[in-house]
Amino acid sequence: MVLRWYARLMSSIEPHENEPHENYWSWKRRFQRSVYQLLFIFVLYILSTGPMYWYCFSAYYLNGSEYIAKLYFPILRACEMSDVINDFFDWYIGLWIL
């Protein structure tokens, strides 16, 4: 579902039949496409915490992978700083570990 949404979003940026092809790579379209791609990667990063929970748990508490601990450290810090973010991740991870 997410990939279909992303493909539809990227196809909306593609040049239309009436537009000249050289206008496709204008700075505005490049910037817009880059923003969408970064947003998509960020959302995937956030959503990956559910399936990766047990790897993160072992990385922090059972001397697991240092790479995974560093990768998910920003999310851990955000959870420590905000109760709203902490509640969201608590709910979301709860969906994956039941």
57 conformational bin, left if phi > 0, alpha if psi -120 to 50, beta if neither: alpha
The 8-class DSSP code of residue 26 comes to -
What pLDDT was estimated at residue 7? 66
pLDDT value of residue 30:
84
Q: Report the C-alpha gap between 88 and 5 in whole angstroms.
A: 23
Residue pLDDT, tens place only, 36-68: 999 999 999 998 888 888 888 888 888 888 888
pLDDT of residue 52: 83
How is the chain split into domains, by residue range? 46-98
Residue 3, phi then psi, degrees to nearest 5: -70, -35
What is the band of 17 on the pLDDT scale with cuts at 50, 70, 90? low
d(CA 6, CA 98): 29
Q: How confident is the model at residue 5 (pLDDT cuts 50, 70, 90)?
A: low
